[in-house]
Amino acid sequence: MSTSPDLCIIGAGTLGVDLALYARRLGASVVLADRDRPEPGDAVQQALRMASLVQSAKRAQDMRRAPELGVGASEFKLSAKQVAERANRLVENRIRATSPEVLTAQGVTVMRGAVSFVDGRSVLVGDITIKPGKVIIAIGGVPAVPDIPGLGDIDAFTVDSILENQRKLTHLVIVGSDAAAVEQAQLQRRLGAAVTLVPHGPLLSDFDPEAVSLLLSTFAEEGISVRTGAQVVAINRRSQGIGVEIEAEGGVRETLDASHVLVSAGRKVDLDELDIAKARLRPGTNASRTIRPAGTAAGHEEWNVARAHGRAVVDALLGRRRGNGQFLVPRLVETEPAIAQIGPLAPRAEKARTGDTILRENMAENDRAAAMGSERGLVKLALDGRGQIQRASLVDPFAAELAGTLALAMNRKVGLADLADLALPRPSLFEIFSRLGENYLAAQNVSTKGQGGRALRRWLRL
């Protein structure tokens, strides 16, 4: 075992494992410092567990909507315990694929024990000091808890603990405006709970407002109460249930009778337990030329965003050059319909230039979507004057898959006109891209020279 590897990755969660294997493929010697406990909020495990729960809830919702597709309604029994147990089994089976034995076989040195910095060049793992060339901090983060009077007096759910819940909830009040809060609102409603969502600010502020409004229409139909503009100002523990006092715009107050409360306010990372001060980083930063954060430690909680950023960090630390330009990664809200966002929102994007345009297609007009019973959906693209896609918003049950393909096209600089020639089977959800491409081509101005040539040929035929 080398005590002077090219790279040390602190944190053996899914992100740390992925970056360690990626660095090995680039030829670097790697030590993966396992803190001998699960990394909190492991993005992939959380996403997999959530995906399992969402699919169980979707099956229940499909059975409720079966008569709409010509299938007779039938009674069904929903077991919250069995739903949770299935999600647990799924995660446990996947964890085996990243065991220390598997990592060692692929050339990654796994070291277990408490991890701390000795100085800017040395890291203590257990009782062994190593001197890596570079260090990546890929530890997880625990759920943040907002300062709400009375919150500490109840046993509130976090976005982590609610995934382990095996009881049916009666009335769940969710405090939060991020993707996790919105996802849990629909999930718990479909699992049988009454749900009230109190956003505490703009709902899904990083996503296109038009896309968010379509999702909220679905929420209203499913009976999810969203108190836009309201905030929780106090929580009162009762002998029976919980009193949640909210204040709406204009100062009007109301008390909700809740059985449970879920708080979704992001995550916080404790770097102090790594003795980060001994690394002598610049004040106000958690990075240097040889030490870089990744994942939650760098402010990226979504798995695909954290992975893309983390691999870019590995490239930078190992001196590997990437192609020029920003690599666009879709961000997702795992609801039904799902929302995917690629690129910045319009207010954050560069100033519009001459020729820029926005195109949209209604997914409800897509043959495949109609056959599936999808009532609403959207693909909205912002193009520059050359027909290059700058940003995109998608609303569809399969938004993740559609967004992955679209992001590939955007990163490869494939123009929207090129998508008009996609040879697709029918019906297909991906037809939406070829239709957008055709609409773009149809809207282009024909050159004056071309118009004059055709006019001359018509005159000669007279």
Which two structure tokens, joined as six digits, stand for 203?
Answer: 């709902």
| CATH code assigned to 7-141+269-317 | 3.50.50.60
3-class SS letters over 279-292: HCCCCCCCCCCCEE
Look up tokens 């004040």; give the residue: 283
Contacts of 384 (CB under 8 A, 6+ apart): 353, 355, 356, 390
Please write the tens of the pLDDT for every residue from 182-231. 999 999 999 999 999 999 889 999 999 999 999 999 999 999 999 999 99
The CA-based diameter of the chain, rounded to the nearest angstrom, is 95
- Cα 451 to Cα 246, 442, 456, 457: the distances in Å are 64, 15, 9, 10
Please write the tens of the pLDDT for every residue from 21-60. 999 999 999 999 999 888 887 766 777 787 788 888 888 8
Residues, the chain: 462
Q: What is the pLDDT of residue 182?
A: 96
- Cα 166 to Cα 76, 188, 450: the distances in Å are 18, 12, 68
Ramachandran class of 178: left when φ > 0, alpha when ψ lies in -120 to 50, beta otherwise:
beta
Q: Are 375 and 222 in contact (CB under 8 A)?
A: no
Question: In the CATH scheme, what architecture does the domain 331-443 have?
Answer: 2-Layer Sandwich (3.30)
Q: What is the pLDDT of residue 222?
A: 95
Q: What is the pLDDT of residue 346?
A: 62
Which two structure tokens, joined as six digits, stand for 12?
Answer: 């053996």
- Cα 204 to Cα 2, 53, 177, 352: the distances in Å are 46, 21, 6, 23
Q: What is the pLDDT of residue 322?
A: 65
pTM reported for the whole predicted model: 0.84
Q: Are 125 and 31 in contact (CB under 8 A)?
A: yes
- Could you tell me where in the chain the CATH 3.30.390.30 domains are found? 331-443
Q: Are 179 and 333 in contact (CB under 8 A)?
A: yes
How far, in whole angstroms, is CA 86 from its chain's centroid? 22
Measure the CA–CA gap between 58 and 52, rounded to whole angstroms.
10
- Residue 390 DSSP label: E
- In DSSP terms, which residues pair with 453 in a beta bridge? none
Q: Are 396 and 214 in contact (CB under 8 A)?
A: no
Q: What is the pLDDT of residue 97?
A: 59
First to last CA, the chain: 88
Which two structure tokens, joined as six digits, stand for 20?
Answer: 């360690």
**371 exposure class (CB count in 10 Å sphere: 0-12, 13-18, 19+):** exposed
* Identity at 328, one-letter amino acid code: L
Measure the CA–CA gap between 373 and 425, rounded to whole angstroms.
19
Q: Are 377 and 344 in contact (CB under 8 A)?
A: no
Measure the CA–CA gap between 365 and 438, rounded to whole angstroms.
15
Look up tokens 């990664």; give the residue: 329
Contacts of 237 (CB under 8 A, 6+ apart): 150, 153, 154, 243
- Could you tell me where in the chain the CATH 3.50.50.60 domains are found? 7-141+269-317, 151-265
- Signed CA dihedral, 151, 47, 406, 339: sign only: negative
Record: fold of 151-265? FAD/NAD(P)-binding domain (3.50.50)
For the residues of 84-95, what is the DSSP string, one character each? HHHHHHHHHHHH
Taking alpha carbons only, the member of 173, 177, 309 closest to residue 254 is: 173
Q: Are 59 and 77 in contact (CB under 8 A)?
A: no
Burial letters 5-43, b for 16+ CB under 10 A, else e? bbbbbbbbbbbbbbbbbbbbeeebbbbbbbbeeebbbbb
- Cα 85 to Cα 52, 60, 90, 172, 455: the distances in Å are 10, 16, 9, 21, 72
Tell me which residues of the chain have a pLDDT lower than 50: 324, 349, 448-449, 456
For the residues of 173-192, what is the DSSP string, one character each? EEE--SHHHHHHHHHHHHTT
